[in-house]
Structure formats: structure tokens, C-alpha cells
């Protein structure tokens, strides 16, 4: 109760401050919310840094670890020093350069998989939830089948079939195994939104199904999917690392964070802590940045939280 009161009085003061006919739009409000949120600035700067590493690694580390002579063996596992604050990898490459040049492989797959699962999940989830009946049964049973397959085992089997494993095969396999949970969440969210009075009101005002889905259903049921997708982005970076670690992901001479972690895991206990800590830290920071950004975006996009 006191919350709504506070919300209303806040709304009113805002009205007064923008009274002189200023056009307050949804996006104007979103911008207003975002520029005042420190979390938004921190997370979006981190995301920008990560994306620039992914697409323009030469900006951050001049020589790729894959250029000849970049990895002299006498440097193998050398610990961090003033010149090389991240130390050297098991193969003798500069750890910083390896991490930077590995960003692309890890992050791009995660972004592609997230985009793919969101598109599939939102489409099929909306269809199942809105249409109900037969369409719902078919889609739900298909997701059940995928839930029945253990993720790692399924991915192992699929990836083992492909002769060459690159960004596209990894993306395809992760998407195929990742879309079902988003579909389920979207379906539930759509079903609960569909029963809202404003959907009935829209129908009473003569809105078509397509209009209701586009404006009323999607706008009100997408929030949990956004949250899940940003968390998913992190877990897909982890999944790439896992599959690479198991030997069905990227293959040398590609560098990826997953490969670095899988190497470091063996040697960290032997005292070469930097081999595990730095790649893990990169994964953790990246995942966190995307999750925070998703969280802050969702809050800003939902006028009810204002």
C-alpha cells in the first residue's frame, strides 16, 4: 500500500517537473532511468569492452597467440611479472593476449546461441501459450523430449558427428539443446498474461489475435525471458568451456576461454594458479556484466517498477 502511494506521489512530482508540455514517452522514461543507474554504466562499459575484445582483439593485444613465434616454449607456465601481469600459458603464450584473442570464440558463440534460443523460445512459447490445445500439446511434448536428453551427453553425441567443429556447429548444438527451457518459461508467462483482463478488453475493442500477441502478450510476458536469456548467456559461455574441456568443443590451435580453463584446471593445484584464475575471472566478469545489464534493462523497461 505504502509502495503504491510512494509510487503515485513520485509519479506526480515527475509530472510537475515535466509539465511544460514535454513529451514523456516510454523510451524517454527508459533513458531517464538508465542514465541515473550506476549499475547500468558499469555493466554496459564492461559489455562494450568485452565486445570490442571479441570483434577487435588487436586493439587490446597486438599479437595473436597464433602468430608464429608468439609462444616460445621457454615461457611456458611462467608466473605473472611486471612486464606480463597475467603470466604465460601452458604453451608459453602471453596469458593476456590469449584471453583477449579467445574472447571472440567464447562470447560470439554465447551471443549467437542466446539470440537463437530467444528467437525460438519466444516464437514457440508464444504459439503454445496463446493457441493452447493441439499446438500446445505438440510443442510441449517436443520440449519434454529435449528435457529428457541429458545436455552434456546430447551435445557430446551431436558434436561427435560433425567432422569439423567451429563456431557454427557449436552454436547449432547449443541452440538445439538450449531453446526448450526458454520456450517453457515463455509459454507459462504467455498463459498467465493471456488471462489478464486487458486482453479481454482488447478483444472487446476489436483487436485481432496478431495485434494482441504483438502488443499485449509480448510486452507483458517477455520480462522473465530477458532475465533468463542474460543468465543463459553466461551459462552458454560456461557450456562452451565445458564442451571444449571435454574435447568436443573448439580444437587447437583455436584459443578460447574454455580451452584455457581446461588447461589450467590440471595445473592450478601444482602451483600455477594463474592458469586457472585469470581465464575463470574473465568468464565470471563477462557473465556478471551481461546479467547485470539484463537486470537493469528489465527494470527500466517495466513501468510498474517505477
**Which residues of this protein are in contact with other proteins, per CB under 8 A?**
4, 7-8, 11-12, 15, 18-19, 21, 23-26, 196-198, 200-208, 211, 215-216, 219-220, 301-304, 306
Is the Cβ–Cβ distance between 150 and 239 less than 8 Å? no
Residues 6+ apart with CB under 8 A from 254: 105
Lookup: cell for 250: 573448439
Q: State which residue, 45 or 201, has the beta carbon closest to other proteins.
A: 201
Residue 268 DSSP code: H
**What is the nearest approach in angstroms of other proteins to the Cβ of residue 54?**
32
Q: State which residue, 167 or 202, has the beta carbon closest to other proteins.
A: 202
**What is the nearest approach in angstroms of other proteins to the Cβ of residue 208?**
6
Is the Cβ–Cβ distance between 251 and 165 less than 8 Å? yes
Q: State which residue, 9 or 67, has the beta carbon closest to other proteins.
A: 9
**What is the nearest approach in angstroms of other proteins to the Cβ of residue 144?**
24
**What is the nearest approach in angstroms of other proteins to the Cβ of residue 189?**
13
**What is the nearest approach in angstroms of other proteins to the Cβ of residue 127?**
18
Q: State which residue, 144 or 209, has the beta carbon closest to other proteins.
A: 209
Lookup: cell for 66: 597464433
Residue indicated by cell numbers 529435449: 146
Q: State which residue, 25 or 74, has the beta carbon closest to other proteins.
A: 25
Is the Cβ–Cβ distance between 257 and 103 less than 8 Å? yes
Neighbours of 206 (CB within 10 A): 7
Amino acid at each position: 500500500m505504502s509502495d503504491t502511494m510512494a509510487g503515485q506521489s513520485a509519479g506526480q512530482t515527475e509530472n510537475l517537473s515535466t509539465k511544460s508540455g514535454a513529451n514523456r514517452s516510454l523510451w524517454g522514461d527508459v533513458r531517464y532511468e538508465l542514465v541515473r543507474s550506476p549499475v547500468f554504466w558499469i555493466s554496459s562499459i564492461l559489455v562494450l569492452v568485452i565486445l570490442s575484445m571479441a570483434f577487435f582483439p588487436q586493439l587490446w593485444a597486438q599479437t595473436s597467440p597464433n602468430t608464429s613465434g608468439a609462444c616460445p616454449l621457454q615461457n611456458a607456465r611462467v608466473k605473472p611479472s611486471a612486464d606480463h601481469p597475467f603470466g604465460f600459458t601452458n604453451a608459453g603464450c602471453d596469458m593476456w593476449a590469449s584471453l583477449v584473442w579467445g574472447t571472440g570464440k567464447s562470447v560470439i558463440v554465447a551471443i549467437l546461441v542466446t539470440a537463437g534460443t530467444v528467437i525460438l523460445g519466444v516464437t514457440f512459447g508464444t504459439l503454445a501459450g496463446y493457441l493452447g490445445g493441439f499446438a500446445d500439446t505438440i510443442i510441449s511434448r517436443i520440449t519434454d523430449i529435449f528435457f529428457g536428453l541429458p545436455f552434456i551427453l546430447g551435445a557430446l553425441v551431436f558434436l561427435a558427428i560433425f567432422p569439423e567443429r567451429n563456431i557454427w556447429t557449436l552454436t547449432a548444438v547449443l541452440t538445439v539443446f538450449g531453446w526448450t527451457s526458454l520456450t517453457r518459461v515463455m509459454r507459462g508467462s504467455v498463459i498467465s498474461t493471456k488471462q489478464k483482463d486487458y486482453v479481454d478488453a482488447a478483444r472487446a475493442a476489436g483487436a485481432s489475435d496478431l495485434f494482441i500477441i504483438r502488443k499485449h502478450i509480448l510486452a507483458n510476458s517477455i520480462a522473465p525471458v530477458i532475465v533468463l536469456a542474460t543468465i543463459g548467456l553466461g551459462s552458454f559461455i560456461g557450456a562452451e568451456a565445458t564442451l571444449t574441456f571435454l574435447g568436443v568443443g573448439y580444437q587447437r590451435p583455436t584459443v578460447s576461454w574454455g580451452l584455457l580453463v581446461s588447461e589450467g584446471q590440471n595445473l592450478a593445484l601444482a602451483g600455477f594458479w594463474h592458469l586457472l584464475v585469470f581465464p575463470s575471472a574473465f568468464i565470471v566478469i563477462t557473465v556478471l556484466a551481461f546479467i547485470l545489464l539484463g537486470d537493469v534493462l528489465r527494470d527500466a523497461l517495466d513501468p510498474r517498477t517505477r
